[in-house]
């Protein structure tokens, strides 16, 4: 028995050493990598885009704008392969199911959410007679579709629907002002909601009950940020939740999902001017966090909590929107828009690739 225990201890020690070595090697490899611009796509829209997202398999890139059109590019050729046009109405949002089979489009103007088949572009399901506001998302298993709505401006909710039947399951996540963003935890058990009431809340998806309201350090009771909570992203392992706000200096905060404690924060803007987080995304391995705002787009090293790459704009030059990684983590995309997009001066999607830095 003692001999068997010793052998097991040695195996476990070697396994842990291998895991540690693997993690260190991955970080070492990333230290020798750099982001290089791969492609720039012109956007056929004269409005400010509202959502940019890669499909789960990374084969498609989708962009939604408030004029009622969702654009789809093939990432192997970077050709525009399809457009879905709904009636205009801000805000506009789009989401892929985890298996990539379904595409959901939110449209407040028509008071409906439409689910399309991704391979045929045919309408599959319509969730009607609702007033979706923003923040659409599929649960990780694809069984549920959630979006933010409201009864009145003091009763703002998230509605949860069955994806297959289009039937409402429940209303949950009550806030006292518009819910701007929602995010499912990777295991599908939790739902996070961020609102204009400056609160960030975590909910039990099965019961609909509130687990906690995150408390920001040095802020009045119940407040997570000084400004509206306008961006949310869970880390791939579900241990952390990142949130961003709308304030004079857009702040990104990192929270411990289990304890609810504020771990750290980063100011995306270093100038005393109004800004707005317009995109947050973790890389698939959870080691990088990307953020976009009107003033800046940046990538942070989560372990060191420091900026490793960024682009900035001055006042009146336009801004950035969206922040999304491809499924393999090798591509990063965002929208770069001018002050007033038009046909002569359109918005662009920039795609950057992680490449090895060659030694001189």
pTM (predicted TM-score): 0.86
Beta carbons of 20 and 12 less than 8 angstroms apart: no
pLDDT confidence band for 267 (50 / 70 / 90): confident
pLDDT tens digits, 293-332: 888 999 999 998 889 999 988 877 888 989 999 999 999 9
In a domain, 237, yes or no: yes
Helices (H) and strands (E) in the chain, counts: 1, 28
The pLDDT of 57-64, averaged and rounded, is 94
In a domain, 293, yes or no: no
- Count structural domains, the chain: 1
Give the model's pLDDT for residue 355: 75
Give the model's pLDDT for residue 15: 37
In a domain, 25, yes or no: no
**What does the block give as tokens for 319?**
């801004």
**What does the block give as tokens for 301?**
């090293």
Give the model's pLDDT for residue 272: 63
In a domain, 2, yes or no: no
Q: Which of 116, 145, 118 is nearest to 130 (CA)?
A: 145
Q: Which domain CATH number covers 159?
A: 2.130.10.10
pLDDT confidence band for 42 (50 / 70 / 90): very high
In a domain, 240, yes or no: yes
Residues 332, 68: Cα–Cα separation, whole Å: 25
| Residue 164 structural domain | 46-287
Beta carbons of 221 and 215 less than 8 angstroms apart: yes
Q: Higher pLDDT residue, 238 or 113? A: 238
Q: Higher pLDDT residue, 275 or 239? A: 239
Residues 169, 164: Cα–Cα separation, whole Å: 12
In a domain, 28, yes or no: no
In a domain, 186, yes or no: yes
In a domain, 55, yes or no: yes
Residues 220, 226: Cα–Cα separation, whole Å: 9
């Amino acid at each position: 028995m003692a001999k068997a225990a010793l052998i097991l201890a040695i195996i476990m020690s070697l396994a842990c050493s291998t895991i540690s070595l693997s993690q260190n090697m991955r970080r070492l490899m990333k230290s020798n990598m750099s982001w290089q611009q791969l492609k720039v796509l012109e956007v056929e829209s004269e409005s400010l885009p509202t959502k940019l997202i890669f499909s789960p398999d990374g084969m498609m890139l989708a962009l939604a704008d408030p004029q009622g059109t969702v654009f789809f590019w093939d990432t192997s050729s970077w050709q525009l392969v399809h457009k879905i046009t709904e009636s205009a109405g801000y805000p506009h949002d789009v989401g892929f199911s985890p298996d990539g089979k379904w595409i959901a489009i939110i449209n407040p103007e028509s008071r409906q959410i439409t689910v399309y088949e991704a391979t045929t572009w045919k309408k599959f399901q319509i969730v009607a007679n609702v007033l979706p506001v923003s923040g659409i998302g599929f649960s990780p298993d694809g069984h549920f579709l959630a979006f933010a709505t409201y009864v009145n401006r003091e009763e703002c909710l998230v509605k949860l629907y069955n994806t297959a039947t289009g039937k409402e399951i429940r209303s949950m996540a009550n806030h006292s002002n518009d819910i701007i963003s929602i995010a499912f935890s990777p295991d599908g058990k939790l739902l996070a909601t961020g609102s204009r009431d400056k609160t960030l809340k975590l909910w039990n998806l099965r019961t609909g009950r509130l687990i906690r309201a995150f408390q920001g350090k040095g802020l009045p009771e119940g407040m997570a940020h000084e400004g509206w909570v306008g961006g949310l992203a869970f880390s791939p392992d579900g241990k952390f939740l990142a949130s961003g706000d709308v304030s004079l200096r857009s702040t990104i905060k990192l929270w411990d999902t289990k304890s609810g404690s504020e771990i750290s924060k980063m100011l995306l803007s270093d100038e005393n001017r109004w800004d707005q987080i317009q995109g947050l995304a973790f890389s698939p391995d959870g080691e990088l966090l990307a953020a976009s705002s009107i003033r800046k787009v940046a990538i942070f090293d989560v372990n060191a909590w420091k900026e490793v790459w960024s682009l900035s704009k001055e006042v009146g030059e336009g801004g950035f929107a969206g922040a999304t990684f491809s499924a393999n983590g090798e591509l990063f995309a965002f929208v770069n828009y001018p002050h007033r997009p038009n046909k002569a001066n359109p918005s662009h999607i920039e795609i950057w690739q992680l490449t090895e830095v060659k030694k001189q």
